[in-house]
Amino acid sequence: MTFCPRLRLIRSSTSGDNAIHGSSSLMVLTWPLSSSPLFVPSQVYSPDENAPKHRTSSSCFLPPNHELASVITARALQFLANMTKTGPPHAPAIAEPLSYYDLEKLQLVKYLPSQYYHHHMDWFDTLMRDDSPAGRGRYFNRVASFFIYLDDTCTGGGTEFPELQFDLESLDESGVRGSAEFWRERIDFDRQRQKGEEKVSSGISFKPRKGSGVFWVNLLPIGYGDERLTHAGLPVEQGQKVGMNIWVKRDFGW
């Protein structure tokens, strides 16, 4: 389901989205997510060593030779190929044809109680250089992102987009399957935050639901980052949330 020109909810119940969902379900069954020794404190690049802690989750990269890495990558590429043809608009900013080298390493991320990732953007302020043998020193930016929920045994822990606004009544009138109650089970609408002495709208937050997730396009067609897609991993209140980041690169050459 597309909410705006640049973001889409991936629902595990729809056949077109099963390109990702099938891999997510398999991942839960075969990868020891909660006890993997590979998880380490998540890193965020910042030139200010004294900056407040921006991200407190733990994460690890799925080894490229893991039996599921090629399966998930193939299904992600299939999903992306469909997205460039059917939307959201501006998805054609994702270059075609895509290959294995257009995806970054698959990242698993785990949030325990009180852990979070403050508001941030996935695209980079300056182009990144890929010095891997496949990258050959070419420059890239992060054109699109998936976040897939693998474990939702938690309260809290939503994925918040504070700059995006949606009218729930309009969603029902658009012909999208599901009642208002159906969508409120999955999405926290009408969010508010304190700004000075008044409360202002704080966008929407996608609730963790295993096998579903969110896809969005980070870059405008001209290559600049879209600041409307600022987002956060809200603190987990109880339990744990585990997800997977799948990042798509756009090549800008040498």
Please report the pLDDT score of residue 96 as a whole number. 64
Tens of pLDDT, residues 26-76:
444 445 444 566 788 887 655 555 545 788 899 988 888 877 788 888 888
- Cis upstream peptide for 97 (omega within 30°): yes
- Per-residue pLDDT reduced to its tens digit, 167-182: 555 554 444 445 566 6
* pLDDT tens per residue, range 110-152: 999 999 999 999 998 888 888 776 777 888 899 899 898 988 8
Token pair listed for 22: 């099938």
* 66-118 per-position pLDDT tens digit: 777 888 888 888 887 776 655 555 554 566 677 778 888 889 999 999 999 99
CA distance 23 to 78: 12
Question: Does residue 8 have a pLDDT over 70?
Answer: yes
Fold of 2-33+56-253: Jelly Rolls (2.60.120)
Q: Domain-by-domain residue ranges, the chain? A: 2-33+56-253
User: How far apart are alpha carbons 221 and 89 in whole angstroms?
Assistant: 10
Write the DSSP assignment of 49-113 as a string of letters: TTSPP-B--EEEEPPTTSTTHHHHHHHHHHHHHHHHHH-STTGGGS-SS--GGGBPPPEEEEE-B
Tally the C-alpha atoms within 13 A of residue 69's C-alpha that lie toward its C-beta.
14
Closest CA to 107 of 118, 97, 124, 122: 122
The pLDDT value recorded for residue 232 is 93
- 3-class SS at 172? helix
Whether 17 contacts 79, CB under 8 Å: yes
Structure tokens at 198: 């008044």
Distance CA 118, CA 114 (A): 12
